[in-house]
Structure 1
Amino acid sequence: MYNFTINQFAINRYSTYPDIKLLLLLKDNDPLAFAEIYERYCREIFNYAMALVKIPELAKDLVQDVFIKIWEARGKIEVEKSFRSYLFRVCHNRAYDMQKEIAQNRILREQLVNYYEPVIEPEALSQEGDTPYMLLLKQALSSLTPQRRRIYEMCKNDKKSYDEVARELNISPNTVKNHMTNTLSFLRDYLRQHSKLTPLLIWLLQKIF
C-alpha cells in the first residue's frame, strides 16, 4: 500500500502541465506528477465510482484502488492515448472486480445489505426474521408460475444444469433456458419497481439466491 500526502506535493507549476507531460514525469517515478494527476482527477473518478457502486465508502475505496493501480502501472501507461478514458476504464474494471469479491464474501454481503436496510419501505416487511431484501425477493418469486418457480429453484438453489432440470421435468433444455431468462428479467424488474435498491445490490441479491 502506498501512502501519499498530497499537500506535501503541492507545487503550483505542476498544475499548469498537460496530461502528457505529467504522464512522462510519472513514468520517471516523479511523485509530484502523481500528486497533480490525483488532484486533477480524483473528484471526477469519485463521482463515477459513486454512479457505479452508490455507497460513499465503496466509492472512496475504488478511488484509492484506481490511483494505486496508476502508480503501480506507471511505467506501462501509453501517454499518447486518452488518459482520462484510461482512468475511467480502470475504475469500471475495479468496480466489477469489487462486486465479484462482495458476492463471494458472506461478511461483505451482509455489511452491504445492512447498509441499505434503512431505505426499505416498511410495507416490504411481513415476516419476522427475514431481512427486507430476502423478503422482497421471496415476494417476487411467489408471483411466478409454479413451473417457472420450480425451474428457478432447481437451477439456483439445487445448482442443477439446464440439461439436468430438463430431464427431471421432461422438457427441453431450451425451454428451461427460456424460463430462466424470463424469470431473471422479471425479478430484476420487480426489484427495481418495489424497492430503492441500487443495481449493485440487485446484482448481489441475484448472486445470493
Structure 2
Amino acid sequence: MADSRTFKEVYEQYFAALKYSAMRYVGDEELACDLLQDVFVKLWERVDEFENELQLKTYLYRMVRNHCLTFLRDKQRQEKRMEGFEVEETEDSFVYQMIKAEIYALINEIFEELPEACRNVYAKSLEGKSHKEIAGELNIISKFNK
C-alpha cells in the first residue's frame, strides 16, 4: 500500500463493511463514519506493515472494534462524571447560580466574624436542631429550659 491509489482501493473495498461493523457498536451512522475516518488515518500511518490482504483485513476489523469500544467506554465514563451535575441552559440560570454562590460566600464571611458562642448556636441551628436542643447542649439558660 505504498501509494494513494492503493490506499483508495482499500478504502473503497472495505469502507461499507467496516461502517456496518462500526454501526453495530455505536448505532449512529455519522459517528460510525467519524470513527472509521480515524481508523483509516491510522492505517495510512502503517502503510507498509502488512504482508498480505488477510493481515490488512484483520487489522481493519480489529481497529474498528477497538476504536468503537474505546469510544463507548469514554462516553460512559463522561456520562458517569456528569451524573449529579445539572446542566444550566440559560443565561438567567447561570446568573442565578453566580449570585447564589456570592451570597453564600458573604454569609460565610459574616459567620466567621461572629463571636464563637454565636457561631456555635448558629451552626447547631443549621444542623436542624431546635432552640431547646441547642440550649440543652450548650447549657444555656433560657425560657426553653424552664
TM-score (norm 2): 0.49
Question: Which protein has the larger Cα radius of gyration, Structure 1 or Structure 2?
Answer: 2
When normalised by structure 1's length, the TM-score is 0.35
